[in-house]
Amino acid sequence: MEDIAVLGVGMHPWGKWGKNFVEYGVVAANAALADAGVDWRDVQLVCGADTVRNGYPGYVAGATFAQALGWQGAAVTSSYAACASGVTALNSARAQILAGLADVAMVIGADTTPKGFLAPNAGERGDDPDWLRFRLLGATNPTYFGLYARRRMELHGATQEDFAAVKVKNAKHGFENPNARFRKAVTLEDVAASPIVSDPLRLLEICATSDGAAAMIVCSLDYARAHGHTDPVRIAGVSTVSPTYPNTTIDLPNFATDSAFGVSEPERGYRASIAHAAYEQAGVGPDDLDLAEVYDLSTALELDWYEAIGLCKPGEAEQLVRDGDTTIGGRIPVNPSGGLACFGEAVPAQAIAQVCELTWHLRGHAGARQVDGARVGLSINQGLFGHGSCVIVRK
């Protein structure tokens, strides 16, 4: 499969700014256009990632941003795939570019989030598992993160200090990232002193919800060349696979896993299958990676991702953190942006932001957090209801 080019990336800083999500998106869009040197009126396709907490404009994100930037006739798509929405939008742009339907496209996501736990939509909705898990179990998102974390402690001997070390690392990485919301050095003692949310996880180990926006300008390699970009960052693989039956790891917002009765289990668990599909497309493997951005919804979950993307065998992730392998300067830096630990989650923007970060590293433009000589990077995430995404970029 042919690569597409990343011509420009841009973000609105993450925070709690109290503005309409469209304002953030326009800032990110204009930054990406300026970075790409592309005039908005030349963009042929706008692929928006939806927000479900901001009314109708959020459900039609592609059109919302096309209108906000000034109608110019571009085709639009709007995608919702929970935490994977941003890359689902990117894959929509990529598919149209590779099919020859568009040469240059904008991918964009922005969100304004409420304070506190993400909650289900309002109303009495007894047939919606997302509503029922709150009503019957009080199973917030951190509850599932707590289940995964405790499982690591029981199976692999992980300690709460191992989990805290992930936060310390990510806080160090994000300290000088101008787009990060939380830019503060954190010690193991700070983590241990923060209140327990979902035992064994503490407040400083669970990602917050944030306002923010990210945008990219992507195009065909021919378009890039014709506009003087001889060696752009390229997108070599994009995976948006769903699970394969039986999915035997309990996932948000479910009450139960699939039953493995009478069937053979898939070769890979769901998280590993998301990465595998992107590796296959790009023709690379874990050993080729120079950096990765993984979805650290919790500190412990970052360790699960190390194994899912093949950085180590199951049960070995704690050792990678202890040895500093995933710190900038180590063998394979993970979350050089600071990750969700420093950003908090702005759902439709987050997966796009991950790719923005990879792009800056491959260009050598990541400033104080630069991973030297980065040529291949991977981003990955997972969301509710069987969504996941993975992107591999190279230069």
Partner 1 sequence: MKTRVPAVDGWFTMGDEPALLGSRGAETGSYFFPKNLAFSRNPVAPTEELTEVELSRRGKVWSWATNHYEPPAPYMSPDPFVPYTVVAVELVEEQMVVLGPLAPDADPSTLSVGTEVEVTLGTLYEDDDHEYVIWQWKPVN
* Min separation Cβ 101 and partner 1, Å: 31
* Min separation Cβ 129 and partner 1, Å: 8
d(CA 237, CA 130): 31
* Min separation Cβ 349 and partner 1, Å: 22
Closer of 206 and 216 to partner 1 (Cβ): 206
Closer of 39 and 124 to partner 1 (Cβ): 124
Contacts (Cβ under 8 Å, ≥6 apart) of 236: 3, 281, 282, 283, 284, 392, 393, 394
* Min separation Cβ 321 and partner 1, Å: 21
* Min separation Cβ 81 and partner 1, Å: 19
Closer of 128 and 288 to partner 1 (Cβ): 128
* Min separation Cβ 311 and partner 1, Å: 23
Closer of 77 and 254 to partner 1 (Cβ): 254
* Min separation Cβ 90 and partner 1, Å: 27
Strand, coil or helix: 378 = strand
Closer of 117 and 192 to partner 1 (Cβ): 117
* Min separation Cβ 267 and partner 1, Å: 16
Residue 87 near residue 351 (C-beta atoms within 8 A): yes
Distances 246 to 152, 258, 387 between C-alpha atoms, Å? 21, 5, 15
* Min separation Cβ 261 and partner 1, Å: 5
Closer of 154 and 267 to partner 1 (Cβ): 154
Q: Which residue has the tokens 């995430």?
A: 381
Angle at which helix 61-68 crosses helix 21-36, to 10 degrees, equals: 70
The structure tokens listed for 283 are 């023709």
Cis amide linkage into residue 195, ω under 30° from 0: no
Closer of 200 and 333 to partner 1 (Cβ): 200
Distances 176 to 187, 313, 326, 333, 395 between C-alpha atoms, Å? 16, 32, 18, 16, 25
Q: What is the DSSP letter of 310?
A: T
Phi and psi, residue 106, nearest 5°: -105, 135
d(CA 332, CA 325): 6
| CA angle in degrees (0–180, nearest 5) for 26-217-35 | 75
- Nearest Cα residue to 288 out of 367, 191, 203, 378: 378
Query: Contact positions toward partner 1, by CB under 8 A?
Result: 116-117, 119-120, 124, 126, 131-140, 142-151, 154-155, 195-201, 245-246, 248, 250, 254-263
Q: Fill in the amino acid letter for 255.
A: F
For residue 150, the surrounding DSSP H or E stretch is helix 141-156
Closer of 197 and 297 to partner 1 (Cβ): 197
Closer of 286 and 314 to partner 1 (Cβ): 314
Phi and psi, residue 216, nearest 5°: -135, 150
For residue 86, the surrounding DSSP H or E stretch is helix 85-98
* Min separation Cβ 132 and partner 1, Å: 7
Closer of 174 and 253 to partner 1 (Cβ): 253
Residue 369 near residue 330 (C-beta atoms within 8 A): no
